[in-house]
Structure 1
């Protein structure tokens, strides 16, 4: 039996596998990145590391997540295109509980969307339909490349200039 973090987008329920979750944080200040791709909220500093953040509500509906007490920043393990595991922040609403489900509890939706390939199979919990979010499919290849691009060494930079 696997553990999942439950959250909402609009009025629909979704799940993230707890094995992919590093930490659930309150919604902290996020540094916005001008002209970032749609759904990219910005970056945060997590223990000295710059971590990109995406807004699941904005990815799914085009509207940013509501800033409520139950809106959280979920840090997940995201495999980049080189299969290197990276930290990715995910903004999600109504992150208030976990649920346990067997892999056999999930069934295909029968509906595929190229625009939302990260949406996986569904299960029921207390009469509600919950859809699994596949972390490894959250970002398109182009967005992943933008968020996890290795910075080029600038000829003018010095070791001192890498710290603010």
Structure 2
């Protein structure tokens, strides 16, 4: 596998051959991105109804125009402490194929929609013990920052939702 190759379909989906269109956002001090085609909408924080006995990262559910959507707290999912400032927090609503439904997840701040040339993307790094975070499919090298590319299919596994009192499809 070459330096810029990946086994992930994430980098193969774009119709502009060499460009990815992404939505970038912040969780903690890191900046992440997902394909814009996966995003259904981005909303300001709204009331979230807690669901008893749901998995730890499931914050609860929201009613989005008559649709009940589970919401994942990405700070919890990544093992971070809750944020003291929720002023810029957003809920990104995406469709995740492996779970078979629409899911919302909270982020600290949404940055921008950007187009990223595939040639500036490196494969996902591995940790010192040789294990890489399964949900990271690459790292985009921008002029002044790094952008961690997330594979939603790997980030949100079906097991995350099985015990969530009907949250699984």
TM-score, normalising length: structure 1: 0.78
Measure how far apart 1:141 and its partner are: 3.1
In the aligned structure 1, how far is the partner of 2:88 from the partner of 2:111? Answer: 6
Whether the 8 Å contact between 1:70 and 1:96 is mirrored in structure 2 is no
Q: Hey, which of these two has a bigger chunk of helix by percent?
A: 1
Q: Which residue does 2:144 correspond to in 1?
A: 127
Whether the 8 Å contact between 1:65 and 1:92 is mirrored in structure 2 is no
Whether the 8 Å contact between 1:44 and 1:51 is mirrored in structure 2 is yes
In the aligned structure 1, how far is the partner of 2:163 from the partner of 2:36? Answer: 26
Whether the 8 Å contact between 1:55 and 1:90 is mirrored in structure 2 is yes
Cα RMSD (Å): 2.2
Measure how far apart 1:146 and its partner are: 3.6
Structure scoring higher RCO (CA < 8 A, sep ≥ 6) equals 2
In the aligned structure 1, how far is the partner of 2:34 from the partner of 2:84? Answer: 19
Distance 1:116 1:126, change over 3 A: same
Unaligned runs of 5+ in 1: 151-164
Provide the aligned length of Structure 1 versus Structure 2.
147
TM-score, normalising length: structure 2: 0.76
Which deviations, in whole Å up to 9, do the C-alpha atoms of 1:126-149 show, x marking residues without a partner? 320110111111223321334543
Whether the 8 Å contact between 1:80 and 1:144 is mirrored in structure 2 is no
